[in-house]
Amino acid sequence: MSLRVKNIILILCVLALAVFPLILQNGAEFGGADGQAEEAIAQIKPDYEPWFASIWQPPSGEIESLLFALQAAIGAGFIGYYFGYMKARKNA
């Protein structure tokens, strides 16, 4: 099996791992907030008060997802540049 085929299969597995929960847990919230840990802390120690707040919070969910997308884009951009560079170097 060529490397390309192997890598495509691996990526398909990753996609399946991400899609499968959506089907399995149809109707679940898929919350990403750290709320459940907060709840657990509140249960264990009801009088605990967070002593420090975030210095800045994205004003909305849209802006937060913008920043997350930006983070991924910067990383993916570099990875793409890197492999392009290396491929060209190899062929040069």
Return d(Cα 89, Cα 3) in angstroms, integer. Answer: 19
Q: Name the residue nearer to another protein (CB basis): 3 or 62.
A: 3
Q: Nearest approach, Cβ of 67 to another protein (angstroms)?
A: 5
CA 91 from chain centre, in angstroms, equals 34
Return d(Cα 8, Cα 5) in angstroms, integer. Answer: 5
Residues whose CB falls within 8 Å of the CB of residue 27, separated by 6 or more in sequence, listed in order: none
* Amino acid present at 74: I
State the residues that interact with another protein by CB under 8 A. Answer: 1, 3, 6-7, 9-11, 13-14, 16-18, 20-22, 24-25, 28-38, 40-41, 44-45, 48, 50-58, 64, 67-69, 71-72, 74-76, 78-79, 82-83, 85-87, 89-90
